Chains A and B, each alone.
Chain A
Amino acid sequence: MAALAATACAGGGDSDEVAGGSATADAPAESDPSDQAAEPAEPDAAPPLGSADVPVEVTLAPADEEPVAGGTMRFAIEADVDGLNPTASSLSAPGQLMGGAVFDTLAAFDVDGVAVPYLAQSFTPSDDLRSWTVALRPGITFHDGTPLNAAAVVASFEAQRASPLVGLAVRPLFPDDGAVAMVDELTVQFNLTDPHRHFPTYVTGQLGMVASPAWLAAAAADPALNQQPVGTGPFRFDSRTEDSVTRFVRNDAWWNGEVYLDALEFYPVADPDTATDLLFGGEIDGLHTTNAGSIVRLVDDDEIQSILDDRGEESFIMMNTSVPPFDDLRARQALAWATPRAQYDQLIGLDVLRQATQRFTPESPYHDPALVQIGDDPARAATLAAEYCAERGADVNDVTGAPVCSGDRIVIQYQYAGPSVAGTRIADLMVAGWSDAFEVTVTEVFQDDLIQNAALGAYNTVMWRQFGAIDPAADGIWLTCRTIGPVSLNWPRYCDEERDALLLLAQAEADPDVRADLYRQVEARINDAATYVFLQHTMWDVALAPVVRDVCGRTSPDGIALDCVGNGVVWFDRAWLAG
């Protein structure tokens, strides 16, 4: 209750007194009033890039030409992946991108954000919404000739559930026994722990990829095969040199139409500036990046086609509520108030990215314009910290092993993924902003270790990027009390029973308006808990050479136009190269 009062009060004063931020001061002048008219005014929405007031901005060449077959598409991915087995490796954006070439998912999002049947023919829920019957399309085979049938779907599902890593996200949703059953040759039944009206959204990404059971069995025996995926997708695996190039060739017998490209090649190029230069120089035909500097250069170019999308992940500071000091709301709010959000926008986001106040962008039906992300007020943070220290100063921070306070300042550890120059810059910026209220030890850890520490609760605060599933049902797993344990997916380890109840109601709800209202209530509770300090909506730019056509021409076999981009992932099944 105290939380609610504090936030409400905070909201009142925030819009007028922005600490030291010349950038935010002139922000309203730059934003386009015509597009914003329909929306209630955003107190702290930064001006988005170009005219990207819409969630996805597409500057693609007109698609009235007749497709031409042939050619090789060369695409730069931001990093290589350690394996392409969707049942063994947790696939990042580059992994999903390459996986999307070789695997098909059971369902896919249409342009309105609704999950529709794709590799599956239909999804039918039971009356209690606890079990879903999935019917497969007949006559589809994997690249190795194995038929796609119920047994194959079950094999992929069970392999994912058994995987130590991938299984973490699967196991909480299903009972230990009887999670999946074969009904007949082409029908599978999934049984969930809780009623769920939007189950198909789960199988639009990695969890929906179906791999050849013969290959899965072989890969279990010979790990080298994890690099040579076999699916039903528009492209067949051809060759792969780790950290260098992964090549796929056309699947002439694809079940969902003609594929035009002869081959697809993926090159890991870690430095976004280099990737951009390669695209300008015609060395590659496409890239994806979240680097603000590169996006500015790519969008400024008239020839290059850009697909901009910031509906996906948000960047935020995350706090661990299972360890002092952030088990106390005042400490969490102090960190939020101290966070230099305006400077972050200007110096890290280069005023290109939109500031985030919550998990949803303003265009989303789930967005709540009334929510305010507190920040940019170090004086207020210092007052809160002093108040906290006066009362709890004797507690011990289990992460640092030292008392939670030193004088009036709270002592915390901040972890970020490295080695990374960008990460170091963000750390410097945060530490400088927090310094009035916090004494910060900065620890740079490898990405894997950061995730591990977050899962094990061995952190005070971290820089994080997450959320932004097209359907919020899929993000529930990161919020529910059920995923708190020795290994938590609820990283802040913050349990709110009422929030869980709202999430369960929302995932069983059919009426979109009621559902949106339920998610707005969830969002308000997230805001009250102050476990996250939202910074920005991550923007992905999928940039393509002038000759690339129809990347956004995807359709389901039932003729439904599909969403063509999500979190840096695009699909090439309809793409072709002009001239």
Chain B
Amino acid sequence: MGRVVRRTGFAIILLLTVSALTFGAMNLLGDPLFNILGPAAADTTPAGVERIEAARAEYHLDDPLPVRYLRWLGDLVQGDLGVQFSSAGQPPVADLVVERLPRTAVLLVLAQLMATVIAIPWALLAAPRVDSWFDRLSTVSTFLVVALPNFALGVLLKYVFAIRLGWFPQTYTADAPLPDRFHQLLLPALTIALPAAAVYQRLLRDDLVSTLQEEFILMARSKGLSRARILFRHALRPSLFSFVTVFGLTTGALIGGSLVVENIFRIPGLGSAIVEAVVREDFPVVLAIVVVVASVFIVVNFVVDAVYAVIDPRIRR
């Protein structure tokens, strides 16, 4: 219980720091008036000045930075993420997040699922046969895959499977029926999943190799338990322990990777939204996305921490 409270408190402090830093940084970018009014922010006619004053008042642009941060924080607590400065009519940021977040989330979940589904059997096959041709080939492949950056991998996969073979579409249509969208997401998800799978495989395999040498495994083996049973029931569970930690940590890297992959396959997710917002200096949008992404990252690690306790008997007891 104390552990949960402490971890939650830490997560909240972390979120506050991250959001305050981003808020301060985005405000250094300059006058957001230009985002709201466009070139008219330099209009010096009386009517123009009036519009500028009205906008300043409406968005409290003259208040000191800490006051504005606290106001933003207060709104955030009430579920209000502010408005998009650079879009006509200044629609709420929440609309954008609600529209884009699910696409990125689905992509990431799909990618992590694929990575796990690839990595676990791969490691289970390689670990009991240390230094066999299969194991060596696996190690070489993981090195090769990890050395191929996601954008390069994306371009290669797109060339082979979308352009040459035509098995997958090259782009994403957000309103297509569910099975089509799933089909469209496979290639980008695979782009994210392959390097992750290589990392997971290497980790799990090393871990399994050392677990298999431990005493309780030798004992189980001497009792005549089948090889598969030993692998799944006895060896895999303790190995999942480090796997889960890396899984959580990797999520952060994958979010970064998904920004790039979304760009290659033109998936209108959070990735394209934040890039556009940064270039446009639309800071309410940037803030919202950074906070959402950082929260997801922090929450995932929080959950990982909890799962950790369940899997590892030493902590549970």
Interface residues of A (CB under 8 A from B): 82-83, 85, 88-89, 164-165, 167-168, 219, 223-224, 226-227, 241-245, 267, 269-271, 274, 277, 419, 446, 448-449, 451-452, 455-456, 485-487
Contacts and interface: CB of A to CB of B under 8 A. Distances in A.
Given A164-B38, A244-B268, A269-B171, A223 B43 contact: no
User: Across chains A and B, which 5 residue pairs bring their CB atoms closest together, nearest first?
Assistant: A223-B89, A164-B40, A244-B174, A83-B88, A455-B39
Interface string B84-96: 0011111110010
Contacts of A269: 171
Contacts of B170: 271, 274, 277
Quick one: which of B43, B89, B171, B268 has the most chain A CB within 10 A? B89
B91 A223 contact: yes
B42 interface: yes
Contacts of B280: 446, 448-449
A286 to B, nearest CB: 16
- From B95, B279, B280, name the one whose CB has the most chain A CB atoms within 10 angstroms: B279
Contact of B42 (A224, A244, A270, A486): A486
A62 to B, nearest CB: 33
B38 A165 contact: yes
B70 to A, nearest CB: 25
A487 B37 CA distance: 12
A41 to B, nearest CB: 43
B88 A164 contact: no
Nearest to A165: B38
A88 B89 CA distance: 7
A452 B39 contact: yes
B89 A219 contact: yes
A267 B173 contact: yes
Contacts of B279: 419, 446
B56 interface: no
B266 interface: yes
B171 A168 contact: no
A487 B43 contact: yes
B34 A452 contact: yes
A243 B89 contact: no
B89 A164 contact: no
B38 A452 contact: yes
Interface string B29-51: 00000100111101110001001
B131 interface: no
B35 to A, nearest CB: 8
19 contacts: A88-B89, A89-B88, A164-B37, A165-B40, A167-B40, A224-B95, A227-B91, A242-B99, A245-B174, A274-B266, A277-B170, A446-B280, A449-B280, A456-B39, A456-B42, A486-B42, A487-B39, A487-B40, A487-B43
A115 B237 CA distance: 78
B88 A85 contact: yes
Given A274-B170, A446-B279, A82 B87 contact: yes
A241 to B, nearest CB: 6
Interface in B139-157: none
Contacts of A83: 87-89
A223 B90 contact: yes
Contacts of B171: 269, 271, 274
Nearest to B174: A244
Contacts of B173: 244, 267
Nearest to A164: B40
Chain B's interface size range is 20 to 34
A164 B51 contact: yes
Interface centre among A227, A244, A271 (most CB of B within 10 A): A244
Contacts of A167: 40
B39 A451 contact: yes
B40 A85 contact: no
Interface in B7-48: 34, 37-40, 42-44, 48
Contacts of A446: 276, 279-280
A227 B90 CA distance: 11
A485 B42 CA distance: 10
B62 interface: no
Contacts of B43: 164, 486-487
Contacts of B48: 164, 487
Contacts of A448: 38, 86, 280
Contact of A486 (B44, B86, B268, B276): B44
A245 B175 contact: yes
A454 to B, nearest CB: 8
A144 to B, nearest CB: 18
B89 A226 contact: yes
Contacts of A456: 39, 42
A269 B176 CA distance: 13
Contacts of A455: 39, 42
A186 to B, nearest CB: 30
A318 to B, nearest CB: 16
A168 B87 contact: no
Contacts of B91: 223-224, 226-227
Given A83-B89, A165-B40, A452-B34, A241 B266 contact: no
A457 B280 CA distance: 19
B95 to A, nearest CB: 7
A366 B253 CA distance: 59
Given A223-B89, A446-B279, A446-B280, A241 B99 contact: yes
A124 to B, nearest CB: 30
A89 B44 CA distance: 21
Given A82-B87, A242-B99, A270 B266 contact: yes
A227 B92 CA distance: 13
B54 to A, nearest CB: 11
B88 A82 contact: yes
Nearest to B86: A448
A293 B230 CA distance: 60
A448 B88 CA distance: 12
A525 B249 CA distance: 65
A448 B173 CA distance: 26
Contacts of B266: 270-271, 274
Contacts of A226: 88-89, 91
Contacts of B44: 485-486
Contacts of A452: 34, 38-39
A486 to B, nearest CB: 5
Contacts of A244: 173-175, 268
A245 B172 CA distance: 12
Nearest to B279: A446
A441 to B, nearest CB: 19
Nearest to A88: B88
